Structure 1
Amino acid sequence: MQSKLSRGNLPRALTVLVAVLGLVFAAVTPAAASHPNGPKPTVVLVHGSWADGSSWQKVTNRLLDDGYTVRVPPNPLRSLTTDSATVREFIATLSGPIVLVGHSYGGAVITNAATGNPNVKALVYVDGFAPAEGETIFPLAGAGSALAVDPATVFDFVPYPGAPAGDVDLYLKHDTFVNSFASGVPRRKAEQLYPSQRPWAFGAGNDPSGPPAYTTIPSWYVLGTRDLIITPAAQLFMATRARSKITRIPAGHLGLITQPGRVTKVIEQADRATR
């Protein structure tokens, strides 16, 4: 009798068990459960000139804490064409939606790298260049930029193996790096960043940009109102032309280091708006 009752109750018990397990799995499923419109995207962060992926560390940590998958590929800083191709090939290996973020020269790279990739749902510029087709980078820094002076006063010129004729690596001189590039960063931290700056090839600043992805992909722009490298006026011009949603922050060129919370918030806004 007992065994018959147990067998008789088995279908009902299984139904209850499946229902309970469904609730448990729903509670631990990361993206889809908390975001009914779909899984969180992969956020790809592209660094700019005189920097490397570590410049994104504070933003990366916040995004990871909020449950995002984050990738920070190296930007070669050699030529806009090949740098963009490098990032384009990298994001082509990723599945699912992508939010592509670029700081400074990295903005020009994402402008080109995202073109034609349907997985890129949003572009986010952080004090970034957003060139139109045919434009080069140096003039876009704006009149009044710390770079818009005699190059010999702001750059150290260093040859590199295999360089095209006339090309050199550009390192920022100490005063330009600490006082202009890293303005707003605590002095001790700026002094620590200076020795490890990654050089940017002169040719990359003169390489014409291709068709911009921002004409077909929605974009957001974090504008540093105290930026001495890309002037606020130049940033506003590019952001307005790209029809970006603009967030102003009281920061210099390294707002991703000094205002990581604000930058992270804009990236997450871009995600939510495009899901």
Structure 2
Amino acid sequence: MKGNTVKLSFRRRLIYVGVAIGALTLGGAGIGTAQASTSHVAHSHHPRPASAKPTVVLVHGAWADGSSWSGEVSRLQHDGYPVVVAPNPLRGLSSDADYLREFLGGITGPVVLVGHSYGGAVITNAATGNANVKALVYVDAYIPDANQSVAELTSPDSVLAPAGTNPTSVFKLLPYPGAPAGIYDTYLLPKVFEAALGAGLSKSQIAVLAASQSPTSLVALGEHSGAPAWASIPSWALVGTQDKLIPPAAQLAMAGHAKAHVVKVNAGHLSLITAPDAVTKLIDTAARTTA
């Protein structure tokens, strides 16, 4: 890294991010698959009967992609749900939420919106004011209130906590085109990836996921959240009791603040991969309760 930028504390860098965002008005970009885009168009042009099941929209978290949801997709489709995996660009909370908000605008009828990890912060912002979103489901997720950031909600006992004093102890930082000064894409270091996300996975699974992680801008971690959708939309939270990235106590505190219905599962941060039956069951519960 160059100059004194890397020497700045993680928190100081993220405070700077908040200032930079206001000046730059960052835009959104996409990471969706062709399948997700096709489903998006289909829902726009083929309204479903009022009695049909709601569309389940799945939003992945940081350092991940839509394939994280493959277990839930197959199960939900088997149960008769229309389901799409939404793009999450991982560029910044406001721009990621704007992107998802536009995506949701192309879906006709009721929606159950599901977010994992950082994706929870994204759905919290994107669903605000959207009358079609009938339920929010948080899976090992951040559930911010207004003016809170992912960095601020990362508890001292998180595997990511050392980034507060030394970002390079947790992340590989790489520049990317168009980034504000002092802002980088983050990749979890292999040892951190395993410690934070590896519970319940084989060594080979961990190696594949670590090698294929999607870059996440520091902006996404430091930007403050807006008015929360959970204030007006019923919410559910699945809490992995072995989670090392967002420890259970932090998840429960956020879920309690949002008045979410909580279900615990004996899993780590990637319960969507290691416990897809439990995640699917909670999504189905939310869909049935709000029907």
TM-score over 0.5 for the pair: yes
- AA paired with 2:277? G
2: CA distance, partners of 1:263 / 1:169: 29
Residue pairs, 1:60-209, within 5 angstroms? 60-149=73-162, 150-209=166-225
Higher Cα Rg, which structure: 1
- AA paired with 2:95? T
Q: CA deviation at 1:38?
A: 2.4
Q: CA deviation at 1:174?
A: 0.4
Q: Structure 2: 5+ residue runs without aligned partners?
A: 1-47
**Cα deviation code 1:90-145 (max 9, x no counterpart):** 00111000000000000000000000000000000000111000011112121200
Q: CA deviation at 1:246?
A: 0.2
Q: CA deviation at 1:201?
A: 0.4
2:240 corresponds to 1:227:
no
1: CA distance, partners of 2:58 / 2:180: 28
SS at 2:161 equivalent: coil
2:231 corresponds to 1:218:
no
Q: Please name the residue that 1:5 is paired with.
A: none
1: CA distance, partners of 2:62 / 2:271: 14
Q: Please name the residue that 1:241 is paired with.
A: 257
- AA paired with 2:238? V
CA contact (8 A) 1:142 1:234 kept: yes
Q: CA deviation at 1:183?
A: 2.1
Q: Structure 1: 5+ residue runs without aligned partners?
A: 1-30
TM-score, length basis structure 1: 0.86
- AA paired with 1:52? D
1: CA distance, partners of 2:88 / 2:199: 23
| 4+ long deviations beyond 3 Å | none
2: CA distance, partners of 1:73 / 1:111: 14
SS at 1:101 equivalent: strand
CA contact (8 A) 1:143 1:231 kept: no
Q: CA deviation at 1:73?
A: 1.6
1: CA distance, partners of 2:104 / 2:115: 13
Q: Please name the residue that 2:26 is paired with.
A: none
CA contact (8 A) 2:159 2:195 kept: no
Q: CA deviation at 1:262?
A: 0.2
2: CA distance, partners of 1:182 / 1:160: 27
2: CA distance, partners of 1:80 / 1:180: 21
**Cα deviation code 1:181-227 (max 9, x no counterpart):** 22221221111111100011011111010000000000000001110
Aligned length in residues: 241
Residue pairs, 1:17-36, within 5 angstroms? none
CA contact (8 A) 1:251 1:258 kept: yes
CA contact (8 A) 2:154 2:161 kept: yes
- AA paired with 2:140? D
1: CA distance, partners of 2:171 / 2:132: 38
Q: Please name the residue that 1:254 is paired with.
A: 270
Cα RMSD (Å) of the superposition? 1.1
Q: CA deviation at 1:39?
A: 1.5
